[in-house]
Amino acid sequence: MDNASTVAASDTDRYSRQVLFAPIGEAGQQRLAASTVAIVGCGATGAAAAALLARAGVGTLILIDRDFVEESNLQRQVLFDEADAAAATPKAEAARRQIARFNSNIQVRAHVADLVPDNIHALLAEAQIILDATDNFETRYLINDYSVESGFPGPSVPWIYAAAVGAYAATMNILPGETACLACLFPKPPSGPVETCDTAGILNTAVNLAASIQVTEALKYLTGARDAMRRTFLAWDLWQNERSEISAATPRPGCEVCGLRDFAHLRGEGRPHITLCGRNSVQIHEHHRPVDLAAAAERLRPHGEVRQNGLLLQFRRGPHTLTLFADGRALIQGTTDIALARTLYARFVGN
């Protein structure tokens, strides 16, 4: 669809209850129809946010995710089903297909990709606002750099941080030049082990709370209610019934990113070539190295079990599963030994 700006905002039946909400109204609905939102990560929070934005009539969604659907996702990731898990469908593509089933009037651009310094400007170029639904601080600091940098010479592209683990949900609006940025509150990423869904579990209610607050703030921005946006870092523990807020109303003087404009993450400084992921796996970043998945499948078939769906290839040998993407990126599951993961990649994909 190439007329995103004319998405069915005139569909008075579909959006009637939202239009009746006075702060949005007909004019706000038209603005939503002409809007473009990028969601980085299509897991639990990203899937919930994408579903809410699509049902609200946001005209164009840019979905970026590097992962594929697994059965353990189905407890909380609302855009996927058992067939997606069985086929190991990339999450961005599975989300695009599902959204088309309940709102075919909007445009969804799915990118099966890892957001990195080399592709961030191309993938986010058209976004008016970015929603964070990632599972790592490396990408969040990269988005923060991009958002702050985008403000010169033109208008900045704001982003909304969101996180959920266990029963905990947190979110924060970043409006460059107005509010604190991520580095203002947290100058450095956390060091040492950090709780993840794979180690601490997660309640789907925490996910949906984070996504609901995040999307509401995005709707405020897109409909012109910028002054109504929250200027705090908000956290909830749903199990302990605890809520806290930290002011993020103003930038921190001397902030390395929004004050000194030092974009180390955008430059890719210190970015690892190989990283540990959740679920007992290692990710190998091999961007700019296109792989012919069909040819790779034929080459690997004599050495183990191979599945291929046109978007990725899965190769299982013994306790290890290698998931290979078309850009050369790979996930090696069944180990957290980086040396072993590198050996398996070199042996079956090549150096």
Of 141, 139, 175, 140, give the one whose Cα is nearest residue 157: 175
Q: Classify residue 281 as left (phi > 0), alpha (psi -120 to 50) or beta.
A: beta
Residue pair 307/313 in contact by the 8 Å Cβ criterion: yes
Question: What is the DSSP track for 29-83?
Answer: HHHHHT-EEEEE--SHHHHHHHHHHHHHT-SEEEEEE--B--GGGGGT-TT--HH
Rounded-to-integer distance, Cα 12 and Cα 214, Å = 25
For 189, phi and psi rounded to 5 degrees?
Answer: -60, 155
127 close to 38: Cβ distance less than 8 angstroms? yes
Active site residue 42: no
Closest CA to 90 of 327, 312, 335: 312
Contacts of 95 (CB under 8 A, 6+ apart): 42, 46, 47, 50, 63, 65, 79, 80, 108, 110
Beta bridge partners of residue 130, listed in sequence order:
38, 159
User: What separation in angstroms does the CA of 296 have from each of 16, 69, 303?
Assistant: 50, 21, 11
Q: Which of 42, 197, 255, 258 is catalytic?
A: 197
Q: Which residues pair with 233 in a beta bridge?
A: 172, 246
- How many other CB atoms are found less than 10 A from the CB of residue 292? 11
Task: Just list the catalytic residues.
Answer: 197
